[in-house]
Structure 1
Amino acid sequence: MPHPTHPFHDFNRRIIDEFRAHHGQVGGPFEGGRLILLTTTGARTGTPHTTPLGYLPDGGDRILVIASAGGSPRHPDWYRNLQADPHVTVESGVFTYEARAVVLTGEERDRAFARAVEADRGWATYQEKTDRLLPVVALHEIARPGPPNINADSPGEAIRLVHDVFRRELALIRREMTTGGSTLGAQLRVNCLTFCQGLHHHHTGEDLGMFPFLADRHPEAAPALDRLRAEHEHIASLVAELRKALTEPDPDPASIRTEVDRLTTELEAHLTYEEEQLLPLLDSGA
């Protein structure tokens, strides 16, 4: 591992500190991208090591990272660490969770890497610089009982931070659609479908958990909760339309953009209203 005074160590330390201080938002080369902090256990030292990494959504309960090391001839330390101990910790800026690292092989690895290259030619440039096959690693979230571990100081802040995750992801998807040209790439479709799944889980959790909790303690909030439930149903129908369009054999990029724009408009209004109505209740000691 780099010596503590090594410039690369200092660079990583600045990114990590900024990431944690601003709930996953950073400047510099990672600005506007999808970034996590991955903590592995040192293969030789047994001590934890944290590395900022770009990642690819992959649907379900996993994300993908690529051990590119900028095209270096040797694998990065974090990759060698997880080969020795696949139990890792992932920080998204809002959520922190334990995960199991699985190195993809064969056709599964090749399909995932091809998706990455289609979305960002930089991955191919890294592969061209080295003789080693760049590993693709799936990070599977390890399910745990109870609510997710959100890096927030209050229930209201937790909801706002989760909402901001959806806002940022939608903005990323819309930007990717703008730069994607006349086709809809495989990774972009995965990004959209992963977003849809995450939004569905979030709204289901609110309907079954947070809304009944608040209704019991704040009867006066019933009209707002009824409206929010109705908006959940409406947004679910928009998500269903987007899913349908995305899973067509030859999806039309223009139609997808229209569906994403419509969902963005409706979701932004919904999130804003929910924050106005519920954050004061959540942070009042409810």
Structure 2
Amino acid sequence: MTYCCAIKTNAGMVFLSDSRTNAGVDSISTFRKMLVYERPGDRFMVMLSAGNLSISQSVREILQTESIRDPETGDPVTIWNARSMFDAAQVLGAAVRHVNHRDGDALRQSGLEFNVSLIFGGQVAGEGMRLFLVYSAGNFIEATAETPYFQIGESKYGKPVLDRVITPETPLQEAAKCALVSMDSTIKSNLSVGLPLDLVVYEAGALQSDRVVCIDNDNPYFRMLHDSWGQRLRQVFDSIEDPQWNGGQTDIPLRVASPRHPPLKKISTAHERLI
């Protein structure tokens, strides 16, 4: 399994992926799931992948040469000459469909579904940042102000903190911290996600980034974040009052008058107790 997330705010974008892949408890390996496409001053793009590793690796290779036709000129469009992130996302979708057409039937005959999901985001000179989630069929959706992040893979453990923190106005460094907390929560609860991590932080309009880091067990910031997050969660939990029933010494009792009926409770009869 894997976990990848990408966040788009007004200040920039954050991309984060783990590198663990496994085919059973005794077959665990490390493969990078992030690929950066950069031409400084012209375009900056990042792709994150989850799902069947052979499919995602094939898509990555074919993406280098795959193209679509410009509807106006008929010229081939690749990720390196696409005039917009939308056009580049269409090229990625075409690469996914190409692999499905080539390998999909063989996979299904072996009892495997064509399973791949991709996050693709960045910026092309002359337009704003854009972030897409690409499905196995090659179609995609775009992040919005209401949904400024995407997740793929084992997403449920890291979602709550993103929902509570991330908005379009979130500062870039705070968004990076939130992504790392989301990843730490996932690693804590799921053994199929693990270090090392790949992190890219992109500032809006820069069209390049030097904030690229591989995070392993020895990374001091991630170790501090892991320890602090666990300790602070415990402190917040302990600061919340325990539930008290009516009659307890509290202004916020758990049990109060309610129009809803209480749960059904069966009281055994004397005859039933003798059986």
TM range (shorter): under 0.3
The structure whose residues are more often strand, as a share, is 2
- TM-score norm. by structure 2 comes to 0.26
Larger-gyration structure (1/2): 2
Greater RCO structure (CA 8 Å; 6+ sep): 2
